[in-house]
Amino acid sequence: MQYKCIPKEEWDKTIERLLLSYTIFASVENEYGLDYELIKPRDILKISYNKPKPATPLKSFFLPVKENVTLERIDEKPRIILGIPNCDIEGLGLLDEIYLDIEFNDVFYRNRRENTILIASDCFGIQENCHCLSYNIKPYSETNADLAVINLNGIIVLRILSAKGEDFVKKIPMMQSLEDKNLVSAIEKEQHATETLLMTSNVGLPDYKNTGELIIKAKENIWEKYAAHCVSCGACTTICPTCTCFLLIDKPGLEKVKQLDACQYPGFERVAGGEDALFELHNRFRNRYMCKYVWKPEKFSSLACTGCGRCIDACIGKINKNEIFMELVK
């Protein structure tokens, strides 16, 4: 793994310079918690490093909630997204498989992907519902992003993860190779500490494959029991880094507006004539788990749940999917 480093104050000046040619979003802590914000020069010192996790999933930068997909594309300024947890980086894998597939390539998604430098952030510490490691996803990125950032002892360390990331780093003055072995050890120590926290807080949680097997075997009464607290608000799918189902809405002039949709909403699978395989709430509720742990894995190589835990944080019915899985294990 190749590391580069730069003093923190020089990195902050670098971000200020980069703002001339890039739109930068970074993880910032405000009174509501941590989330991505559009960075202006005065915000640079507010950028949060290595703390999990922005409230908004990364998908929002590539698949807007609502977008006219028949209008001419406007070339956007290149973007940097800084401070991405690895659960979101891994989630982007599924989006790439869906939206960059060879036969039907979504140009809107592709342009944004090509136009964006992804700077991941190693998670030092966990949030209550983080469980990436249970699905064999590490709390730090080693692939799929362009760079990973670590802020330690007044030094910004960048782990180079792609050719695009390497090119980007080359253009930053004062960037040096990381020779300090103690700093590398300190980073690894933090990583291991986070992994230990994840293991401790998720003892007994089945892994991804086992979860799928448990879900297939689950009896209807399990879904009825937990769906009793569900109000079909779709918060879980909206905040999920891998849920991207959408609806095409027609506008005059044969224009199409693509809008985020959710299998949790009534009528999602309704066909002409009124038949609806997901009419009953507990069937819609079950559908989300079947999709994530059973059906998507049959079709795609990327995981459809990366253990970010946001769906648990967001649920107004206080439904904790991991409690369902723990009950199924029994």
Interface with another protein: number of residues (CB under 8 A):
42
Instruction: In whole angstroms, give the CA distance from residue 145 to residue 159.
Output: 10
Cβ at position 84, least distance to another protein in Å: 23
Cβ at position 115, least distance to another protein in Å: 14
252 binds another protein per the rule CB under 8 A: yes
Measured CA to CA in angstroms, residue 211 lies from 136, 206, 218, 292, 319 at distances of: 13, 6, 10, 10, 17
Contacts of 34 (CB under 8 A, 6+ apart): 27, 28, 48, 51, 52, 53, 54, 55
251 binds another protein per the rule CB under 8 A: yes
Binding mask of the shown chain, residues 200 to 239, with x at each position contacting another protein by CB under 8 A: ----------------------------------------
Of 308, 301, 327, the C-alpha closest to 132 is 308
Please tell me what DSSP assigns to residue 75.
Answer: P
Instruction: In whole angstroms, give the CA distance from residue 101 to residue 36.
Output: 28
- Please choose, out of 86-94, 155-163, 253-261, 319-327, the segment that lies near another protein by the rule CB under 8 A: 253-261
Q: Which residues of 216-242 are buried (b: 16+ CB within 10 A; e: fewer)?
A: eebeeebbeebbeebebebbbbbbbbb
Among 219, 275, 301, 330, binds another protein (CB under 8 A): 275
Cβ at position 33, least distance to another protein in Å: 29
Among 150, 263, 304, 315, binds another protein (CB under 8 A): 263
Among 143, 188, 270, 327, binds another protein (CB under 8 A): 270
Instruction: In whole angstroms, give the CA distance from residue 129 to residue 313.
Output: 7
Binding site for another protein (CB under 8 A): 69-70, 98-99, 101-102, 104-107, 110, 244-254, 256, 258, 261, 263, 268-275, 277, 290-291, 294-296, 298-299
